Amino acid sequence: MAQKSWLFTSESVSEGHPDKVCDRISDTILDAFLSEDPNARVACETLTTTNHVSIAGEVRGPEHITRNVDDLVRAAVKDIGYEQDGFHWNTLKIVNRLHQQSADIAMGVDEGDKGEEGAGDQGIMFGYACNETEELMPAPILISHKILRLMAQARKSGKEPRLGPDSKSQVTLKYEDGKPVGVDAVVVSTQHREDVDQQTVRDMVLPFIQNAFPEGWRAPESRIFINPTGRFVIGGPDGDAGLTGRKIIVDTYGGAAPHGGGAFSGKDPTKVDRSAAYAARYLAKNVVAAGLADRCLIQLAYAIGMPEPVAVYVDTQGTGRVDEAQLGTVLREMVRLTPRGIRDRLDLLKPIYARTAAYGHFGREPDAEGGFGWEKTDLAGDLARHFGVRTSEAAE
């Protein structure tokens, strides 16, 4: 018998979390290459620890960017807000081990059949959408991100300078018959200035929590846990080492849907780990926006050097209004799912990636510079017309 009520939890981490510092640096370097050469190839990994950043990976593009990585790193860390003794943008040591892309990988990517680029690696990628929020995202991860984003905005604007860059949130929602109906618990841990006591931290953070929830929702104060271990002054890479790509569930759907094997940050769009995951989200979101399902999960699978996906899987999790096999066929006809097709459809060869490094790659508003183009629902009308489904039916 299907469970009719349950609790579900998702977490987020801020831009100052050690792993997110690494994601930001890797994506900043990617943006620098793409800003000068849209066809640059980048696979950049970052490690951070106390007053130290190491960069490694393979690139193909303007050599002067590789030589000037130090300036990119310091600018990214400064923007995040780290000026503490153990991690300061101006004094940290940087090791740069970027090198030229492997000729074997370049051959597989560049010499696909019929003039198409091959996938940069084998792999499986997932995209997901559901109609429980306006953004067509699972509510727990969306709210977790919003709490930290509100805190970061207040900190960086000077409205709340006592907060530090490093923070984490966790939101547990109550579900009834597949829909979120209320708040069960919220956990927030945040770095703070040394002269701030824990009651003051709680008083600072509570408004951000309550303002992150939809109108009419309120987290019970007895189920709000703020800095449950107490003092949190030393944070960021000074408190814990960080690595690119360790927060893939934070980056996607908060555990409400599967994630493929690869991370996103630091990878150019020939790497299907990134581009195909964006394409899968784009397709799933348009399916739900078209009223064809309340939930949609899409898996894409690729082989290195091969342009076309070796498999496309569509699962509407019992909420679909059309045949899933037919839906998969129509989606492949509407959107070319080769790396080049995805790149062209979503306009991915722009320096738009540093902004994705924190607060989620999905559920964000498309911007004027082309960022988050995979969040558009421009395919929904064609899908609805093809299947003869009115978008209003999604609410029935």
pLDDT at residue 261 in the model: 78
Q: Is 168 a catalytic residue?
A: yes
Per domain, the residue ranges of the chain are 5-13+139-234, 123-131+272-395
Nearest Cα neighbor of 81 from 191, 228, 207 is 191
Q: How far is CA 45 from CA 42, 196, 266, 300, 329, in A?
A: 10, 35, 6, 24, 36
pLDDT at residue 85 in the model: 94
CA distance 237 to 48: 6
- Is 167 annotated to bind a ligand? Reply is yes
The two structure tokens encoding residue 102: 């492997």
- Displacement of CA 220 from its chain's centroid (Å): 29
The catalytic residue among 168, 281, 361, 364 is: 168
The catalytic residue among 31, 45, 132, 375 is: 45
Residue 168: beta bridge partners?
Answer: 13, 189
- Is 210 annotated to bind a ligand? Reply is no
Q: Is 264 a catalytic residue?
A: no
- Is 166 annotated to bind a ligand? Reply is yes
Nearest Cα neighbor of 187 from 219, 163, 165 is 219
Q: Is 285 a catalytic residue?
A: no
- CATH for 123-131+272-395 (3.10.520.10, 2.40.30.110, 3.30.300.10, 3.40.50.300): 3.30.300.10
CA distance 84 to 171: 29
Residues of the chain with pLDDT under 70: 1-2, 102-115, 391-396
Residue 84: beta bridge partners?
Answer: 87
Domain 5-13+139-234 identical in fold to domain 123-131+272-395: yes
* Strands 295-302 and 311-315, sheet pairing: antiparallel
CA distance 160 to 185: 24
pLDDT at residue 393 in the model: 46
Asked if CATH classification 3.30.300.10 holds for the domain at 5-13+139-234, the reply, yes or no, is yes
The catalytic residue among 37, 240, 324, 347 is: 240
CA distance 320 to 305: 34
pLDDT at residue 394 in the model: 41
pLDDT digits (tens, 9 = 90+) for 59-94: 999 999 999 999 999 999 999 999 999 999 999 999
- Is 285 annotated to bind a ligand? Reply is no
- Is 275 annotated to bind a ligand? Reply is no
For the entire predicted model, the pTM comes to 0.94
Contact between 156 and 16 (Cβ < 8 Å): no
Residue 305's CB is within 10 A of a number of other CB atoms, namely 20
